[in-house]
Every structure is written in structure tokens, then in C-alpha cells.
Amino acid sequence: MSTGALRYRSAGVDTAASDEAKARIGKLVSSTFTEGALGGFGGFGGMFRVPSGMHKPILVSSADGVGTKIRVAIEANRHSTIGNDLVNHCVNDILVQGAAPLFFLDYVAFGSLDAAVLEEVVAGMAAGCRENHCSLIGGETAEMPGIYTPPDYDLAGFIVGCVEESEILGPARVQSGDVLVGIASSGLHTNGYSLARKIVSERLRLTPRDAFPGSGHSVEEVMLTVHRSYLALLQPLLDRIHAMAHITGGGLPGNLDRALPAGMSAVVDTASWAIPDVFAQLQKAGEVPREEMFRVFNMGVGMVAIVAPENADAIVRAVDAAGVGAWVMGEVRPGSGDVIIS
């Protein structure tokens, strides 16, 4: 039986609020445009010029999210860095093949659109894109009542970069006797948050604004530390690197093996670096087995570069000079393709 005229808003979707939100983020998006970006904000499709001056350009793409780190941002009501996490994660994923980013697209989904939250999230993405000289040329903001319950939202990113075909990094370049150079993470990055959140809330019984043990910072500050981008650090050094592994979900065992050719194993010496205290606190409070820690978290290693022995010291010095820790953490040997955590 009819009870009156229905509107989209009565179903939970406010198109006027969406239009207002898009107007607010237009300047943020435009601030990321590099020379290759074509067209303005708001088109149906983002456009980007294919790079000129390259002999055989290869496009490299990736898509990812930030996992349940987004729950920390929601509970802390602090949304200004989660977009930066997303961009940096995607940048690192294509960097391991030697690619520099060209453009980025985002997908943000709400149960009920919150324009202020969207603006914060996009501001973080714009900051990440500017930092990595990458254009934010498009995206989608969806309002999905019945799928997400406010204040929940979700976030995904899509990146395209480019590398000369002759300069692609990867397992084909790796040789027995190559050295593993570890490069420090900035904390948890964007992996292991389901376990980390469980430990913090159920074992430590802490709220986002409580002090995180041993850190001098709040839980939200520790847990929302921005995922480091390695582009500026490593781009000048790529001609001395054979392969790289971005240490995300799966830890060292689940990512370093992706950079190894058949018949080679990586031996990691965990005594070569001091594991940051945040991981020690989580392990102690959660009584997490050591093997599980290395499979869930990055344990202080955000990126591993596989290099010829004669290049290892130069790369360590260059990264150290930029204020980010680097060290020789192991080597490649003949084996069955596994990662041996010594």
C-alpha cells in the first residue's frame, strides 16, 4: 500500500551531499596533477599522456587497500593519514619492479557519506600523490546504505607506473651470492592490523588515546604512523639493484620469496637488526609465537633490496644518509625457493 512519494534520500543516499563533497575535494585532486595529466577534475575517465622519450615503456599496475588499519582511523576519528598510507603502499608495490608512478585512482565507499571525513581521506591521498610525483586523476565515491554502517567506510587504490623494459627488476636478475639489504619500516605499515588491534584492545585493554607501552606516544599515534614510501630513497639506486620485496601481509617469508628465482633461497639473519619495540610489545602481550610474528608483521623491515655484494655498502650508506636505517641482513643461496629465518 502506498504511503507517499519516495526519494533517493529516503533510501539513504543523499546526492546533494555527494555533490557538495565532490566540490570540496576538487582542489585537493587538482593539486596532484603532473605534466602528464589531461583534463580537469570530474570527468567520467581520467586521462594521462603515455610518457615520451622512452625506448620500450612498460606499464606496471597494482591495486590494494589498507586492511583493518582503517578501523583504527575510524575509532580514533583521525582520517588525514589513511589515504597517504594507501598511496605509499601502492607506490612501493610497483617500485619493486623498477617502475615510477604515473597516476592513481581511488575508491571510497560509505554507508552514509560524511563530507568532512571524505575530505580528510582525500587530503591524505593528495599528500601521498604529491610526495610521489603521481597524479590523482580519478576515482569513485560510493554511498551504500545497508552495506556499510556509519561511521564505517572502506578504501581502495589503483596505481599505474612505467619502467623501461630493459630496466625491469625481478627474480630473473638475482644470482647466488647476492646480498639482502634490509630497509627500515616506519612501524606496522598496513599489515597485521587484525592481530595488532586484537592484542591492543583485548590483551592490553587500551583505547586509541591511551599510551602505547614503552613508546611515549598514544595508541593512535603508534598504530596510525604512515606507511613509508621508498620511491625517493631507492629510485636513484635502481641501477644497482637486482630485485626487491615490499614486506606487507605475509611478512618476510611471504614476500621475499616472490623476488627469488627457481633454485634459490634467501637466508635472513635476524640478529642483523634490532626489532622495533612496538613488535616486542605486541608479541609479549599477545603471547605470539616468534614464527607467527615474522609471518604477520614486517618486524621493522619495510623493503628488502637484493643486490650484488659489491653494491651493498653503497646502498646502505645512501639510505642511511637519508635518515632511514639500512643494513645487510642476509644472502641468496642455492635452495628450494624458500625464505630461511635464521
Predicted model pTM: 0.92
Query: Cell numbers at residue 206, please?
Result: 587500551
Distances (CA, A) of 72 to 8, 9, 306: 31, 29, 33
Grid coordinates representing 200 are: 591492543
d(CA 336, CA 260): 10
CATH 1.10.1740.10 given to domain 8-167: no
pLDDT score, position 48? 85
Domain covering 171-341 in this structure, CATH number:
3.90.650.10
> How much is the pLDDT for 222?
97
pLDDT at position 42 is 67
**Please, are residues 51 and 159 in contact by the beta-carbon 8 Å criterion?**
no
Residues composing the chain: 342
Domain boundaries, the chain: 8-167, 171-341
In tens, the pLDDT along 2-21 reads 666 656 666 666 666 666 66
Computed from CA positions of residues 230, 231, 234, 239, in that sequence, does the dihedral angle turn out positive or negative? positive
Q: Which residues of the chain have pLDDT under 70?
A: 1-21, 42
**Amino acid 247: pLDDT:** 98
Amino acid at 180: L
**Residue 267: CB atoms within 10 Å:** 16
Cis amide bond preceding 151, omega within 30: yes
Question: Do residues 215 and 277 lie in contact, with contact meaning Cβ atoms separated by under 8 Å?
Answer: yes
| Structure confidence at residue 34 (pLDDT) | 85
Cell of 44: 567520467
